Structure 1
């Protein structure tokens, strides 16, 4: 079968022919119908030797949807022919958090040579994906694969981040989403579907603000010197209740702090290299709470799939055949992608 493999750190992944995997034990073989591509993949490709614990080579791809085609003798709870989305973070499988479906916060994460599908273990940018256990699969019914695949990261990570802030987003609350890309445009929709808050959007691109508008944002503004003032004006000049930062640079974090009201919340999802200094006294608002959400739980993935199935969540996608993955990666690297890039086997 064809697969997009990372064979050397800092080098472009290469499409190669590899043997089709055969499931053993509790493993499940999924024929891939769609695989999402995101900036996390670029972080893996660009990593210097020794930064990540992963052993080369391996197939990329942690956003995967497809159809079950074969089962190991110990696999249970799923059936051949069932369409599924793959829960991407794979933990040790035996700690209390993994047992509860919280592989994203596996207690043994720092000791593993992998972090999930396409992250040290062979992923879904291939014709087939071997999944360690049926517990990492969520049924999708007739949901289109190009919609389902991005839910396993772009949708799940956004859902998990919003869930951590939901207690602060009751009637009359205001939430700001910074960075309206593959994750941000879904965060806008999830906020609209699961909270009563007003949703304000910030980006550096006009087309991203148009995407925010299509996703249901109440207001959008470019990142400018007066952005904080514009956002505060929309909150009645008291500041906003929560900020979701999908960029994570020093500039976006500074903006978040400048618009948060006392007791406000900031969830930093993006890995843009920014930092905050925590001190008392200091510049952070009184009662300010900071979280660093990572991915999400299997239970939350089922919730994301349900939202998409109800029509409340729709991923804006651009499609590329698997054979054109290098072109798709280059387009993503140049910032030319709208929404989420999805690779489809040729």
Structure 2
């Protein structure tokens, strides 16, 4: 069957033909319909640090949605024909075990999330990482609740979902985004203010700031902007190192927290809002055979919203 394979850093993904999986005990096989591409997929090609968390050769793709085509021994809560999204934190999916850049993927029954009616496969794929990670950062690590002032740095694939979720759940949202052409979209998502840099909101006393960009300077600005005793949640990995003002960190009693992934409940929250039509993140679609080109698009910053490959009809 068709697949894309990761071998090591500084080598391009390889389009290959591999054997089809079978469902082992406690597992299912998912006929993949849509699989997302992420900036971390760019990262594993460029930075050797990723190899410590991977078992190559491996099929990437940690944003996966499809339909169950085979059920393994002991699986009772799922049936052939169920539409599912895959929680990627087990495995992790696409890093240590084969992910969604293949026609059929084996997944643990414990990592399945049911796709509600009215939610497309491409939306569900985006929910599994961009949605999960955004929700996990805002509500899990960040602890945001209705009435809080929430700063969002970066209105890209994750930031747009994080901002919209925060607004839908009653938070007051402030968006920092350098690309002015998406400012109107940020306001439509519920942002009360939009600016190029988060430090322009210093007087607004933000309770928590989620840095979905992670370019070092954005982290530093967040630490100096959040209110006394506030939280800065680091999600974005645009740069893997940052220089911060420890004076501001210590005297401001700022909590600087890393956030990775999320829970199945985060995917369920995202799918719930997608099903109502209140959460409609921008998605750019490509064909499965264009995944290598899609990686280049991400690397060059030419993608609006989330990038998802159509694997099958």
TM-score (structure 2 length as normaliser): 0.92
In structure 2, the gaps of 5 or more residues are none
Deviation at 1:32, TM superposition (A): 0.6
- Between the aligned partners of 1:136 and 1:221, the Cα distance in structure 2 is 38
- Between the aligned partners of 1:167 and 1:8, the Cα distance in structure 2 is 37
Distance 1:120 1:46, change over 3 A: farther
CA contact (8 A) 2:217 2:243 kept: no
Tell me which residue corresponds to 1:333: 299
- Between the aligned partners of 1:159 and 1:242, the Cα distance in structure 2 is 14
Check if 1:283 corresponds to 2:252. no
SS where residue 343 of structure 1 aligns? strand
Structure-to-structure mapping, 1:202-213, within 5 angstroms: 202-213=176-187
2:121 to 120, 145, 149: 145
1:179-210 superposed Cα distances (whole Å, 9 cap, x missing partner): 1111000001110112x332111122123334
Deviation at 1:232, TM superposition (A): 2.9
CA contact (8 A) 1:317 1:341 kept: yes
Tell me which residue corresponds to 1:251: 217
Structure-to-structure mapping, 1:66-215, within 5 angstroms: 66-90=66-90, 115-131=91-107, 133-142=108-117, 143-164=119-140, 167=143, 169-171=145-147, 173-194=148-169, 196-215=170-189
Deviation at 1:169, TM superposition (A): 4.4
Tell me which residue corresponds to 1:10: 10
Distance 1:219 1:164, change over 3 A: same
Distance 1:254 1:2, change over 3 A: same
Tell me which residue corresponds to 1:20: 20
SS where residue 116 of structure 1 aligns? coil
Check if 1:267 corresponds to 2:241. no
- Between the aligned partners of 1:80 and 1:51, the Cα distance in structure 2 is 35
Tell me which residue corresponds to 1:33: 33
SS where residue 65 of structure 2 aligns? strand
1:9-35 superposed Cα distances (whole Å, 9 cap, x missing partner): 221101111111111222200001101
Name which of structure 1's ranges 150-159 and 138-147 shifts more when overlaid on structure 2.
Answer: 138-147
Tell me which residue corresponds to 1:232: 202
CA contact (8 A) 1:6 1:58 kept: yes
Distance 1:275 1:48, change over 3 A: closer
Q: CA RMSD in A?
A: 2.0
1:285-336 superposed Cα distances (whole Å, 9 cap, x missing partner): 5332221111011222222222222223222100000001111111011001
- Between the aligned partners of 1:48 and 1:166, the Cα distance in structure 2 is 29
Deviation at 1:84, TM superposition (A): 0.4
Tell me which residue corresponds to 2:195: 221
Deviation at 1:249, TM superposition (A): 2.3
1:271-296 superposed Cα distances (whole Å, 9 cap, x missing partner): 222435585xx222533222111101
1:110-144 superposed Cα distances (whole Å, 9 cap, x missing partner): xxxxx51111211101111111x211101003310
Deviation at 1:49, TM superposition (A): 8.1
In structure 1, the gaps of 5 or more residues are 91-114
- Between the aligned partners of 1:197 and 1:73, the Cα distance in structure 2 is 45
